[in-house]
Amino acid sequence: MPKQKRHSGAKKRFKVTGTGKLLRRKAMNHYLGKKSAKRKRSFGRQHDVDPSDTREVKRLLGGGS
């Protein structure tokens, strides 16, 4: 049986911590002038994946995570 491949889009977008928690980045694109600096800074940080999405993200990342 060949190896299972993980989803190449998901592996670029999500990170699994040592404790098994899933992290993601927030989207930031246009109309940045009206957004506060604090809000724009928070877009760059890692945020937890919502509990309702963790099962699907783990499936995309493969069995190892």
**What's the CATH code, domain 8-61?**
4.10.410.60
Q: Cα 24 to the chain's mean position, in Å? A: 2
pTM (2 decimals)? 0.79
Q: What pLDDT was estimated at residue 64?
A: 56
Q: What pLDDT was estimated at residue 18?
A: 95
Q: What pLDDT was estimated at residue 3?
A: 86
Query: In the chain, what's the furthest Cα-to-Cα distance?
Result: 53
Per the CB < 8 A criterion, the answer to whether 22 and 57 are in contact is yes
Look-up: residue for tokens 């299972």? 4
Instruction: Give me the residues of the chain with pLDDT under 70, please.
Output: 63-65
